[in-house]
Structure 1
Amino acid sequence: MIRKVFPNRNVALLFYGQLISHIGDSLYLIGLMWLVLELTGSKAAMGIVAMISYLPMLLFGMFAGILVDLVDRRRVMLASDLLRAITVGLLAVTLGLEATTLGVIFVVSFALSTFSTVFNPARDALLPELVEREQLLRANALMQVSHYAAMLLGPALGAALLGSLGLIHLFTFDALSFVASFFALTLLRTKVSARIQIGAEVLRGHFMEMVRYIHHDQRLRFMLGLTAINNFFIMGPALVGTPIFVKEVLQRGAASYALVESALGFGMLAGAFVTNLASRYMNKGRILLVGIIGDGLTYAAIYFCHSLEALMALVALHAVAIPMIVVPRTALVQEWVGPEHRGRVFSLLNVAVVGMTAISNAAAGWLAERMSSAALFGIFGVFATLCGVVGWGYARLRNA
Structure 2
Amino acid sequence: MSYLRLLLRRSVLVLWLAQSLSVLGDRLYALAVMWVVYASTGSASLMGLVAVAESVPYIVLGSAGRRLVARFSSFASLAWVDGARAVVAVALPFVWSPDVHGFALLLGGVLLLGTLGALFDPNLGALVPDLVEPEKVQEITGLLDLTGRIARIAGPASIGLLLLVVSEVQLFALDGVTFAVSAVALGWLARRYAMAAGGGAGERPRKARAAVRAWPVLRAHPRVGLAVGLHGVALFCSAVTAVGMPALLATRYGAGAAVYGLVTAAVGVGALLGNPLASNRRTGAWLAVYCGAWMVQGAATACMGLMLQLPALMLLALVTGLVTPATSVTLRAHLGAFAPAERLRLMSVDQTVIRTGGTAGMLLVPFLVGASPRGAFVAGGIIVAGSALAALLVSSQLPRSDLPVTGVKTPAQI
Output the TM-score relative to the length of structure 2.
0.77
- Which one of 299, 314, 333 corresponds to residue 335 of structure 2? 333
1:12/1:358 CA distance change after superposition, 3 Å:
same
Deviations 1:322-370 (CA, angstroms, capped at 9, x unpaired): 21111110111222x32232211211111112232222222234555x4
Q: Contact 2:223–2:287 (CA<8 Å) still a contact in 1?
A: no
Gap runs ≥5 in structure 2? 195-202, 404-414
| Corresponding position: 1:352 with 2:346 | no
Q: Contact 1:250–1:306 (CA<8 Å) still a contact in 2?
A: no
Q: What are the within-5 Å matches in structure 2 for residues 145-224 of structure 1?
A: 145-165=146-166, 170-188=171-189, 189-191=192-194, 206=211, 209-224=213-228
1:290/1:47 CA distance change after superposition, 3 Å:
farther
| 1:387 match | 387
Q: What are the within-5 Å matches in structure 2 for residues 73-152 of structure 1?
A: 73-93=74-94, 103-152=104-153
User: What is the identity percentage for the equivalent residue pairs of Structure 1 and Structure 2?
Assistant: 23
- Which one of 209, 232, 235 corresponds to residue 231 of structure 1? 235
Tell me how far 1:15 sits from its aligned partner.
0.8
Gap runs ≥5 in structure 1? none
CA RMSD across the alignment: 3.8
1:78/1:247 CA distance change after superposition, 3 Å:
farther
Q: For 2:87 and 2:261, how far apart are their aligned partners in 1?
A: 25
Deviates more, 1:280-289 or 1:84-93: 280-289
1:183/1:380 CA distance change after superposition, 3 Å:
same
Q: Contact 1:267–1:318 (CA<8 Å) still a contact in 2?
A: yes
Q: Contact 2:82–2:182 (CA<8 Å) still a contact in 1?
A: yes
Q: Contact 2:61–2:69 (CA<8 Å) still a contact in 1?
A: no
Tell me how far 1:154 sits from its aligned partner.
2.5
| 1:17 match | 18
Amino acid at match of 2:302: A
Tell me how far 1:32 sits from its aligned partner.
4.3
Q: For 1:258 and 1:380, how far apart are their aligned partners in 2?
A: 22
Q: For 1:322 and 1:241, how far apart are their aligned partners in 2?
A: 19
Q: For 1:180 and 1:308, how far apart are their aligned partners in 2?
A: 43
Deviates more, 1:145-154 or 1:299-308: 299-308
Amino acid at match of 1:115: L
Amino acid at match of 2:269: F
Tell me how far 1:182 sits from its aligned partner.
1.0
Aligned residue for 2:147, secondary structure, equals helix
Q: What are the within-5 Å matches in structure 2 for residues 263-274 of structure 1?
A: 263-274=266-277
Aligned residue for 2:328, secondary structure, equals helix
Tell me how far 1:317 sits from its aligned partner.
3.5
Deviates more, 1:169-178 or 1:300-309: 300-309
Q: Contact 1:69–1:341 (CA<8 Å) still a contact in 2?
A: no
| 2:412 match | none
Amino acid at match of 1:268: A
Q: For 1:284 and 1:299, how far apart are their aligned partners in 2?
A: 23
Q: For 2:346 and 2:45, how far apart are their aligned partners in 1?
A: 33
Aligned length: 385
Amino acid at match of 1:297: A
- Structure with the greater alpha carbon radius of gyration: 2
Deviations 1:90-140 (CA, angstroms, capped at 9, x unpaired): 334456x66696545533332222111111211122122211101111111
Name the structure, 1 or 2, with higher relative contact order (CA <8 Å, separation 6+). Answer: 1
